Amino acid sequence: MNSLWSYLQANHAQLGRWTVATLWLSTAPLVTGLVAAVPVGWLASRNRVAALILLGGTGALYTVPSLVMFLTLPGLLGTRILDPINVAVALTIYSVALLTRTVTGALSAVPADVTGAATAVGYNRFQLLIAVQLPVALPVIAAGVRAAAVANVSLVSVASIIGTAQLGQLFVIGTNTGSLTPIVLGLLLFVALALVIDLAIVATARILTPWRQAATR
């Protein structure tokens, strides 16, 4: 415990930068991925052929091993191998893959009574999505976002192997110097980070769905 504390004190500036970088690397792709997954998932929820192609395609993307993705993206994007953009793009692809399925399922699960009534009062397709389907599907989408968030945080640590500057470096340092302290510290920080992001998603979903709290009172 003492060694953890002294390690923290000695490296707090570096650790602070790494924490911010890790937080950024795991959440920005999540947001981008969700924004992309909504229209794709919407298309898939409306049309069976589109669903087959889109869900099959994004599913296949998810099976590409992360290390392969980190190493091939610089070639495809023309970026340097150490550029954190590579990690961000890779995680965005994984987030889209995970969340497209989530969004498709969540939109399809909106009761037919509700979408039928919305159509009958004169919503067009876009209004129906924004004003009715997405709000009603939000709890299910939030659950999918939580799963994707935790997956992202753990994948960021893998990216340390290719040398991006973030908390995963603690594992590299620990391995290279044969010291357990940075490894344990890294573990604790990653768990804490995952917990904070998870709680933030849960809180956001709660604020956005007051009707669910009211229903269970």
Partner 1 sequence: MIQFDAVTKRYPDGSVAVHEFTLEVPTGQITVFVGPSGCGKTTTLRMVNRMTEPTSGRVLIDGRDLTAIKATRLRRGIGYVIQNAGLFPNRTIVDNVATVPRLLGQPRRAARRHALDLLSQVGLSAELGARYPAQLSGGQQQRVGVARALAADPPVLLMDEPFSAVDPVVREQLQNELLRLQHDLGKTIIFVTHDIDEAIKLGDHVAVMRTGGTLAQFAAPADLLTRPADSFVAAFVGRDRGYRALGFARADSLAVIDEQPVRLGDPMTTARDRQRDGWVLVVDTDRTPVGWLSPAGHRLDDTIAAAHLNLGGTLARRGESLREALDAALSSPSGRGVVVDEGGRLAGTVTAAQVLDGVKARAADGLARSARQGGRG
Site for partner 1, rule CB under 8 A: 111, 113-114, 116-124, 127, 132, 135-136, 138, 209-211, 214-215, 217
Closer residue to partner 1, CB minimum distance, 165 or 205: 205
Residue 35 CB, nearest approach to partner 1 (Å): 21
Residue 127 CB, nearest approach to partner 1 (Å): 8
Closer residue to partner 1, CB minimum distance, 13 or 214: 214
Burial of 178 (0-12, 13-18, 19+ CB in 10 A): exposed
Closer residue to partner 1, CB minimum distance, 78 or 111: 111
* Short-list 64, 100, 70, 104, CA closest to 85: 70
Residue 95 CB, nearest approach to partner 1 (Å): 25
CA atoms in the 13 A half-sphere facing the CB of 174: 16
Which residues lie below 8 Å from residue 47, measured CB to CB, with a gap of 6+? none
Residue 205 CB, nearest approach to partner 1 (Å): 12
CA gap 28, 14 in Å, rounded? 21
Closer residue to partner 1, CB minimum distance, 127 or 175: 127
Long-range contacts for 207-211 (Cβ within 8 Å, ≥24 apart)?
Answer: 208/135, 208/138, 209/135, 209/138, 209/139
Closer residue to partner 1, CB minimum distance, 120 or 207: 120
Q: Output Rg (C-alpha) for the chain, integer angstroms.
A: 20
Residue 43 CB, nearest approach to partner 1 (Å): 21
Token pair 């994984």 is found at 94
Residue 58 near residue 204 (C-beta atoms within 8 A): no
CB atoms within 10 A of CB 124: 8
Residue 20 CB, nearest approach to partner 1 (Å): 35
Coil, strand or helix at 79:
coil
Closer residue to partner 1, CB minimum distance, 131 or 195: 131
